Amino acid sequence: MAKPIPLEVEEMRRLIDVAMKRKEADLVLSGAQIIDVFAGKIERKDVAIVGEYVAAVGKGFRAKEVIDLTGKFILPGFIDAHIHVESSMLSPVEFTRAVLPRGTTAVIWDPHEIANVGGVEAVEALIEAADDLPLDFFFTAPSCVPATNLETSGATLGLEELKRLLAREEVLALGEVMNYPAVLAGDEATLSKVALALGMGKRVDGHAPGLMNEDVSAYCAPGITSDHECTNLMEAEEKLKRGMYIMIREGSTAKNMSSIVPLVRAYGVSRFTLVSDDRTPVDLLNEGHADFLLKKAVYLGMAPNLAVRMVTFNPAFYYDLKRRGAVAPGYLADIAVVDDINQFNVSLVLKRGEVVAKNGEVVVPLRKETVLDFRDSCRVKLPPHPFRVNHKPGRKIRVITLIENEITTGEEHHIPLVEGDNVVADTARDILKIAVVERHKATGNVGVGFVEGFGLKRGALASSVAHDSHNIVVVGASDEEMETAVKAVIDMGGGLAVVDGEEVVASLPLPIAGLLSDKPLSWVVERCREVDRAAEALGAKGASPFMHISFLALPVIPSLKLTDRGLVDVNSASFVDLFVD
């Protein structure tokens, strides 16, 4: 994050003199229409810039340099209020290269993915790696590391670690409080984290999928003020009426915008933001980032000026990011210029008054990549026959059922397919075996279950990206192929692997904590396409099969999930047996 620079008196005088037209500006953007995020109007005005700040908007300014933007629209730089950059699999430098030309000038990064692998030291390393770039990276302090006590993570963030992070100016809030059952139960450890953040003057972000009625009140009462997990209008309205800010999510897997946008038209825009949460590198390249959110919001019927406010002023206001989120006097000159306000094709980006991107390319030097050294991130003890499930005659099995475009899951009970005494995948009914292998402490833990709706006809997929503890998750049509896929991930030091028979047919190494690549965006995207094509050839359904399996190990999203310690009924926050009567 570029550190804030307080205005000196002389700088104030320069801004005033330019606004009064007594002196010339450093730069004037002329001929365009400006979206006023305060009044909601679109007006043809020029923008006078002095140094890093907007001095004035209007007409008749003199300047050392003028950029003619006739026919275009000037917007504030876009701010993503909630994102896990780890899902892009990109380093901070490569993420900047991917999103800055699309108009994004700031993000609020919840780094709980890498925190679950490497702890507070890993988060601090990320913060340093994200510094001194033409994209402002702000952070939240991960509140749930581990997310629950139902899994094995690589680290724990307690009060001392959180205090260390929250003391940093780049850290704006306590990150999403996912363990909502602990909040409702009045758990002392969880509430102590909330109290710590509030006592240090920081926001507390929420994560409470499906909560309604009195439960919402109880969750908000300690001071939790946002939620990005709403999947339908009724849930979002309930949380809005309890005072929460609603972060409308449209990610690569969870897509909630179409369900919730009508609420903005009904209640006004002030308590809403648009966020990406999780975005794959392929989607970043093909569809975009905040520009894609804006385009879809307008397509769904939202007025462009309201949509723009939800990725500019609203996130800046919520996180108290002063002098950001508007093209107005005294605000940082973080600006995105678009050709129209329906497609939001970004042609020019300014960061602190400097042109940093043109026509889809970064035009300023990006510093060299900071080395993020988390190479020893796959400590695995794989027991013999790790995925074997002994049959229990007369009993059915619990099966995780996928829900399209959601990270929530259902639960079904099925008569198992048995070979010898081993319960196996049943591809004819689209019931596959799934396992989570602990990779941080070599405990030998392996949780085994079954999943319906994934589509594989043969082969196996394995990944060290498995929210939130990021053990190795594997889905397959046979035990042998699953074991081959897991061993491929271990050999890479983390990553994604696709196996067909005895052969690894595609892979993507993620050597940084098993989550991030150290390669350029184009390389990562091509390898992502290769693993997705290979998974599709085996029958996998959906555009992002690896993103889907990554959430099957997340025991805070209803209703049935799998960790390295076993099947979890998320609603009761307890383990359940694989077999049912």
Q: What is the pLDDT of residues 57-92, one digit of tens each?
A: 999 999 999 999 999 999 999 999 999 999 999 999
Q: How confident is the model at residue 535 (pLDDT cuts 50, 70, 90)?
A: very high
Q: Name the pLDDT band for 573 (thresholds 50, 70, 90).
A: confident
Whole-angstrom Cα distance, residue 421 to residue 96? Answer: 52
pLDDT band at 369 (very low <50, low <70, confident <90, very high): confident
Query: Starting at the edge strand that comes first in sequence, how are the strands of the sheet with 66-68 ordered?
Result: 53-58, 46-50, 27-30, 66-68
> pLDDT-based confidence at 547, cuts 50/70/90?
confident
* Mean pLDDT for the stretch of residues 12-33: 98
Question: What's the farthest any 2 CA atoms get from each other in the chain?
Answer: 89
Q: How confident is the model at residue 374 (pLDDT cuts 50, 70, 90)?
A: low
pLDDT at 446 over 60: yes
> What is residue 4's predicted lDDT score, i.e. its pLDDT?
52
Residue 3 has pLDDT above 80, yes or no: no
Q: Are strands 46-50 and 203-206 parallel, antiparallel or unpaired?
A: unpaired
Confidence of residue 373 (pLDDT cuts 50, 70, 90): low
Question: What's residue 367's pLDDT?
Answer: 84
Q: Provide the pLDDT for residue 37.
A: 97
pLDDT of residue 252: 86
Question: Is the separation of the CB atoms in 376 and 95 below 8 Å?
Answer: no
- Confirm if 261 and 297 have CB atoms less than 8 A apart: yes
pLDDT over 80 at 41, yes or no: yes
User: For residues 245 and 35, what is the distance between their CA atoms, to the nearest angstrom?
Assistant: 23
Q: Using the predicted structure, report yes or no on whether residue 122 has a pLDDT greater than 80.
A: yes
- pLDDT value at residue 375: 57
Which pLDDT score is estimated for 130?
Answer: 93
Q: What is the mean pLDDT of residues 387-410?
A: 93
**What is the percentage of the chain residues whose pLDDT exceeds 70?**
98
pLDDT higher than threshold 70 for residue 539: yes
pLDDT at 542: 81
- Give the pLDDT confidence score for residue 333 in this predicted structure: 98
DSSP letter (8 states) at residue 415: P
- If you ran DSSP here, which 8-state letter would residue 277 be given? B
pLDDT score recorded for residue 475: 98
Q: How confident is the model at residue 148 (pLDDT cuts 50, 70, 90)?
A: confident
What would the mean pLDDT of 244-266 be, rounded to a whole number?
94
**Of all residues in the chain, what percent carry a pLDDT higher than 90?**
90
pLDDT at 503 over 80: yes
Range 81-313 has CATH code 2.102.10.10: no
- pLDDT category at 396 given cuts 50, 70, 90 is very high
**The pLDDT of residue 404 is above 60:** yes
What mean pLDDT comes out for the span 309-319?
98
Contacts of 310 (CB under 8 A, 6+ apart): 248, 264, 269, 272, 273, 274, 297
User: Does pLDDT of 552 surpass 60?
Assistant: yes
pLDDT for position 371? 66
The predicted pLDDT at position 5 comes to: 62
Residue intervals in the chain for CATH 3.20.20.140: 81-313
Q: What is the mean pLDDT of residues 438-447?
A: 96
Amino acid 298: pLDDT:
97
Is the omega angle on the peptide bond into residue 468 within 30 degrees of 0, that is, cis?
yes
How is residue 559 written in tokens? 């209703």
User: Phi/psi class of residue 213: alpha, beta or left (left: φ > 0; alpha: ψ in -120 to 50)?
Assistant: left
Q: Shortest CA distance to 413 belongs to which of 450, 464, 371?
A: 450
Read off the pLDDT band of 183 (50, 70, 90).
very high
Which among 79, 91, 93 is positioned nearest to 132, based on CA atoms? Answer: 93
Q: Which helix (H) or strand (E) holds 50?
A: strand 46-50
pLDDT at residue 376 is higher than 80: no
The position carrying tokens 């704006």 is 172
